[in-house]
Structure 1
Amino acid sequence: MAAAVNPIKVDAHTDQLISHAAHFLGRSKKDIVDVAVREYIDNHRAEIQESVTRALHQLDGTVAGSVSLLTGMSRSELDDLGGFADR
């Protein structure tokens, strides 16, 4: 299956940096962004994993858990606003 191409938007300064790097390294802008994103994710893998683990702990199958994750509000904050009846 062919990979989907999805455009990303960056500010003008970042685009200029990507363009310069691509030119001086003899690579395409797409290659520069691909490598940069992969390196960034590799360098922040533990941070990403920690966030995923926290999110999974919040998703306990309850409506309150889902709303808490989506809103960033704690269970006690949701309870202060009236809470949710668990099904």
Structure 2
Amino acid sequence: MSEPRYHLTAVAEMLRLSPNIIRRYERSGVLRGQVVAGKRLYSDLDVLRVRRILSVTGLGVNLAGADVVCNLLDRIDSMEAEIVALREQLRRLLED
């Protein structure tokens, strides 16, 4: 996971959202920032998740459905990274 570094207001400004929307995502459980030194911070992956939530809810999907879609997209991202690593490992083995 990427390091948390953005305050709620910074994320809201980046995405041109009301901070209340981000708070709502937190309350509903679809977004989980981290508390660092008593302040809630968000990582680049959290910002990506908010973007994905906005895209999916913009299609008419509710927050529970958006959470499912985002979790599936996270798994796809993870699997794609694993495939890249396995291909690199295979390439090295074939070179020997």
Normalized against structure 1, the TM-score is what?
A: 0.33
Which of 1 and 2 has higher RCO (CA within 8 Å, sep 6+)? 2
Larger strand proportion of the pair = 2
